[in-house]
Amino acid sequence: MATSSIFANFNIIDSKKAEDFARALDISAKENSRKSAGRKNAFVSLPDEIKSLWAKRKEHK
């Protein structure tokens, strides 16, 4: 989805469309959480963790 579509204006005028929209948001949130839960490469900011990663990188060369 293009980022510009996130900021599009739209009107939901009946309850069926409101329910469908809420359901789509729930599905999207669940799919996103599943993808991020399985990520191996997490952001590392602690100095000791960074040093450990660099040491592992040098060992594999």
What's the confidence (pLDDT) of residue 35? 59
At 30 the pLDDT is 84
**pLDDT at residue number 44:** 77
Alpha-carbon distance values, 26 to 21, 48, 54, 61 (Å): 9, 38, 39, 44
Phi, psi of 47 (to 5 degrees): -55, -40
Rounded CA-CA distance 55/61 in Å is 10
pLDDT in tens, 6-50: 667 778 889 998 999 899 888 888 877 665 555 566 677 788 888
- pLDDT higher than threshold 70 for residue 4: no
User: What pLDDT does residue 37 have?
Assistant: 53
Question: Residue 23 has what pLDDT?
Answer: 92
